Amino acid sequence: MTFARGLHHTYAEYLEVEARSDVRHEYLDGEIYAMAGGTPEHAILAGRVGALLSAQLERECRLASSDMKVAIVATGLTTYPDLSIVCGPLERDPRDPNAVTNPLLLVEITSPSTQDYDRGDKLEHYRRIASLQVVLIVSHAEPRVTVVRRDGEAWSTTEHRAGDVVALEHPSVSLSVSEIYAVLDGL
């Protein structure tokens, strides 16, 4: 299914497209964008990060795969992060009961075609989510995890490489960069 750029689609039309399609789409400013499929390495990294996070989460926190849609009310972007953590009750977009609006942590695994978007425009949208505390950007190209963390009203960014441990306060989890990437050995 293709969409002519420049045409305005309503959110209701977007929901109709999503209901009929096997491909996931993002929605922003009346435009519908097909999301690219991932590589096996992408899926393996997402699974590994998810397993490491899930094992450490407190009971009121839940980890969701890329099947969970996130709506950024402040900007209008609706998308599917690779992983999301929500603590407490789910808050849903009033336009879309299948989209949550209150993630605490989001994870994006980059790919050659998405890394600039994940680290640029998409990250700027994510920073507008009131509940969001942390974004983890996991590189597809090298053992590197970028941590974008809310510090009050400001955001800070740190890079972690092989041998480093990413330690987060809320949610209270820690991830070894080497342990994340060990699943790719031998592929």
Give the model confidence (pLDDT) of 49-105 as tens digits: 999 999 999 999 999 999 999 999 999 999 999 999 999 999 999 999 999 999 999
How far is residue 80's CA from residue 24's CA, in Å, rounded to a whole number? 8
What global pTM score does this model have?
0.92
All domains of the chain, ordered by start, with CATH?
A: 1-35 (no CATH), 39-184 (3.90.1570.10)
How far is residue 49's CA from residue 136's CA, in Å, rounded to a whole number? 10
Q: How many CB atoms lie within 10 A of CB 54?
A: 14
Paired with 115 in beta bridges are: none
Return the pLDDT at 2: 45
| Peptide bond between residue 171 and the one before it cis (omega within 30 degrees of 0) | yes
Alpha helices (runs of H) in 27-171, residue ranges in sequence order? 40-54, 115-119, 121-126
Q: pLDDT tier at 5 (50, 70, 90 boundaries)?
A: low
Give the model confidence (pLDDT) of 98-126 as tens digits: 999 999 999 999 998 889 999 999 999 99
Please give the distance of CA 40 from its chain centroid, rounded to a whole number.
18
| Strands 25-28 and 31-34, sheet pairing | antiparallel
How far is residue 113's CA from residue 156's CA, in Å, rounded to a whole number? 25
Give the model confidence (pLDDT) of 117-171 as tens digits: 999 999 999 999 999 999 999 999 999 999 999 998 899 999 999 999 999 998 9
The DSSP output letter for 94 is T
Helix or strand holding residue 173 (H, E) = strand 173-176
